[in-house]
């Protein structure tokens, strides 16, 4: 019950802004500390015996991939909030999460192909994982396109929510079908990560980086939500001004 | 049920009469598939190998472009508002419209597929299986596209936005459709598994599509 009360309290944007004002300095400090510590650990992590120094790309790549998926999950939860409870901040959260999720997906793709160049000898292969991340990126772009074309945020809110839920149902299906497609077409050329367990000397920095990326995601999300609220206020003030002339 | 049947027949009649453009999808399909050899050259062996993929891409684009019409004309003349306010559940209304749309655009497209297959040097004995994969898969395209059509009509934006929203969602249909068609032509993988998954995708989107589309249309009314 307490959790629901908190969510209901946050329905008031002013209260939300006041809360974020108090939280943001601490969150920023925490993010910087964890990120710096994580990068320090990454810098001193041993090279992989096969991959050499390129393994360090993984410390950015893997957390970005996790957050790319978490971003859509967050949007789906927010979409549920928009459609079921009509929570005013749910759409703000979904809209704020879309570009950040797209950015993390992009980072995941770019770091992946930078790693692929020395390891696989090419920037891009139609590997199952790369392909499903690519489709996820396309879905993010579709979501952004939907937001860009709708002038009235209230109108786009529920349309975007429906798209987010449909996408959330489809993402596992896409993942499954891309795996199937890949094993059918080129079973031999798939180079798999892992196989052996990851050594703690790599795993611990990786987890720290994952935590840092998650904090960074939350920080960016809160900042972007604040901007979105202010943007909507500016919009309604402009419309009121235009109506009064 | 009678009302739904009447709606289905109405949509089919509207589509087949002058200005309805039911055959436009099939015509577009024909033109697009005919353009492919100009781009890749007249090598019959190559065409035979990529033939099923070309047919599937053509079908995907044709059904996507035809979707623009699904709600747009009803929205323009106001009948969409009447349909939304009727006592029929909007989900069923939307499903009936989608079925009518499939019958008038996807079915002609499947009928001319064997002719196009001939031009692409696809093995005639396997042509039946390619057509069968289209029969099983195109309902999924229609019902996924239904969501995009409903979203774009409520946002008063069609065309490119709908393509951007819908195409990534059709990736599984394309994968299993081409896989089933290729399995019938080249082998060695059996035709059964991808075909049954294709049927499953169609059935799942038949359930999901009308609900999402109806939700999208309802929010457009507010």
Any idea what DSSP says for residue A46?
Answer: P
**Interface contact flag, A139 B169, Cβ < 8 Å:** yes
What is the extent of the structural domain holding A84?
Answer: 20-186+212-239
Any idea what DSSP says for residue A52?
Answer: B
Tens digits of per-residue pLDDT, A157-182?
888 888 888 888 888 887 777 777 76
**A102 within a domain of the structure (yes/no):** yes
Tens digits of per-residue pLDDT, B41-68?
878 888 887 888 888 888 888 888 878 7
pLDDT at A245 over 60: yes
ipTM over 0.85: no
Token pair belonging to B152: 């774009």
- For B155, residues 6+ apart whose C-beta sits below 8 A from its C-beta are A146, A149, A150, A155, A156, A159, B161, B220
* Residues of chain A contacting residue B214, judged by C-beta atoms under 8 Å apart: none
Write out residues in chain B with pLDDT < 50, as ranges.
Answer: none
pLDDT at A186 over 50: no
**A1 within a domain of the structure (yes/no):** no
B179–chain A nearest CA distance, Å: 8
**Interface contact flag, A178 B171, Cβ < 8 Å:** yes
**A194 within a domain of the structure (yes/no):** no
**Interface contact flag, A174 B165, Cβ < 8 Å:** no
**A3 within a domain of the structure (yes/no):** no
A181–chain B nearest CA distance, Å: 6
**Interface contact flag, B165 A163, Cβ < 8 Å:** yes
CB atoms within 10 A of CB A115: 19
Give pTM, 2 decimals: 0.84
Mutate to test the interface with B, among A170, A172, A178 (most CBs of B within 10 A): A170
Task: Give the integer Cα–Cα distance in Å for A19 and A154.
Answer: 24
The CA-to-CA distance between both ends of chain B, in Å, stands at 27
**Interface contact flag, A158 B215, Cβ < 8 Å:** yes
A79–chain B nearest CA distance, Å: 13
Cis peptide before B188 (omega within 30 of 0): yes
Tens digits of per-residue pLDDT, A187-217?
444 344 444 456 667 778 888 888 888 999 9
Supply the mean pLDDT for chain A: 80
Alpha helices by DSSP H, B17-167:
24-40, 44-76, 79-85, 90-101, 107-119, 124-154, 160-166
| Residue-level pLDDT at A198 | 62
Say how many CA atoms lie within 13 Å of A101 toward its Cβ.
27
CB A138 within 8 A of CB A180: no
- For A239, residues 6+ apart whose C-beta sits below 8 A from its C-beta are none
CB A225 within 8 A of CB A99: no
**A9 within a domain of the structure (yes/no):** no
Q: What is the DSSP string of B150-164?
A: HHHHHTT--THHHHH
**A202 within a domain of the structure (yes/no):** no
What's the domain count of chain A? 1
Across the interface, which of A159, A174, A184 has its CB nearest the CB of B155?
A: A159
Angle, CA B61 vertex, CA B58 and CA B67 arms, to 5°: 135
Tens digits of per-residue pLDDT, A110-144?
888 888 777 777 777 777 777 888 888 999 998 88
**Mean pLDDT value of segment A85-92:** 82
**A114 within a domain of the structure (yes/no):** yes
Q: If you measure CA to CA, which chain A residue comes closest to B151?
A: A159
pLDDT confidence bin for A104, thresholds 50/70/90: very high
**A201 within a domain of the structure (yes/no):** no
B82–chain A nearest CA distance, Å: 21
**Interface contact flag, A166 B147, Cβ < 8 Å:** yes
**Interface contact flag, B172 A162, Cβ < 8 Å:** no
């Amino acid at each position: 019950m307490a959790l629901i009360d908190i969510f209901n309290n946050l329905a008031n944007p002013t209260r939300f802004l006041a809360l974020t004002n108090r939280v943001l300095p601490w969150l920023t400090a925490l993010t910087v500390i964890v990120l710096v510590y994580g990068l320090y650990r990454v810098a001193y992590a041993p090279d992989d015996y096969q991959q050499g120094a390129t393994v360090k790309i993984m410390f950015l790549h893997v957390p970005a991939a996790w957050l790319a998926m978490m971003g859509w999950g967050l949007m789906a939860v927010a979409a549920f909030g928009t459609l079921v409870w009509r929570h005013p901040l749910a759409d703000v959260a979904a809209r704020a999460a879309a570009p950040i999720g797209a950015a993390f997906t992009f980072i995941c793709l770019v770091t992946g192909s930078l790693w692929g160049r020395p390891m696989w000898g090419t920037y891009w292969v139609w590997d199952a994982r790369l392909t499903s991340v690519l489709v996820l990126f396309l879905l993010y772009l579709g979501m952004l396109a939907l937001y860009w074309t709708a002038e009235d945020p209230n109108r786009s809110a529920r349309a975007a929510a429906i798209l987010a839920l449909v996408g959330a149902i489809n993402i596992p299906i896409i993942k499954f079908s891309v795996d199937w497609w890949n094993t059918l077409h080129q079973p031999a050329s798939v180079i798999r990560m892992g196989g052996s367990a990851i050594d703690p000397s790599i795993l611990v920095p990786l987890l720290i980086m994952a935590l840092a990326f998650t904090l960074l995601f939350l920080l960016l999300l809160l900042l972007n939500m604040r901007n979105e609220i202010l943007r909507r206020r500016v919009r309604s003030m402009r419309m009121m001004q235009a109506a009064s002339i | 049920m009678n009302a739904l049947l009447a709606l289905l027949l109405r949509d089919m009649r509207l589509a087949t009469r002058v200005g309805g453009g039911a055959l436009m999808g099939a015509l577009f399909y024909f033109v697009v598939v005919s353009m492919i050899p100009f781009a890749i050259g007249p090598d019959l062996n190559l065409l035979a190998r990529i033939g099923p993929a070309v047919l599937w891409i053509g079908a995907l684009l044709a059904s996507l472009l035809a979707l623009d019409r699904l709600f747009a004309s009803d929205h323009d003349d106001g009948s969409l508002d009447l349909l939304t306010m009727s006592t029929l559940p909007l989900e069923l209304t939307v499903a009936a419209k989608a079925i009518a749309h499939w019958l008038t655009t996807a079915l002609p497209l499947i009928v001319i597929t064997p002719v196009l297959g001939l031009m692409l040097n696809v093995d005639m004995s396997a042509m039946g299986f390619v057509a069968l994969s289209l029969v099983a898969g195109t309902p999924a395209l229609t019902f996924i596209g239904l969501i995009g059509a409903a979203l774009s009509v409520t946002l008063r934006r069609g065309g490119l936005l709908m393509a951007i929203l819908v195409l990534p969602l059709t990736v599984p249909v394309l994968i299993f459709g081409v896989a089933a068609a290729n399995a019938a032509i080249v082998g060695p993988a059996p035709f059964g598994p991808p075909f049954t998954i294709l049927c499953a995708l169609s059935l799942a989107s038949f359930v999901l599509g009308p609900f999402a589309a109806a939700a999208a249309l309802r929010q457009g009314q507010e």
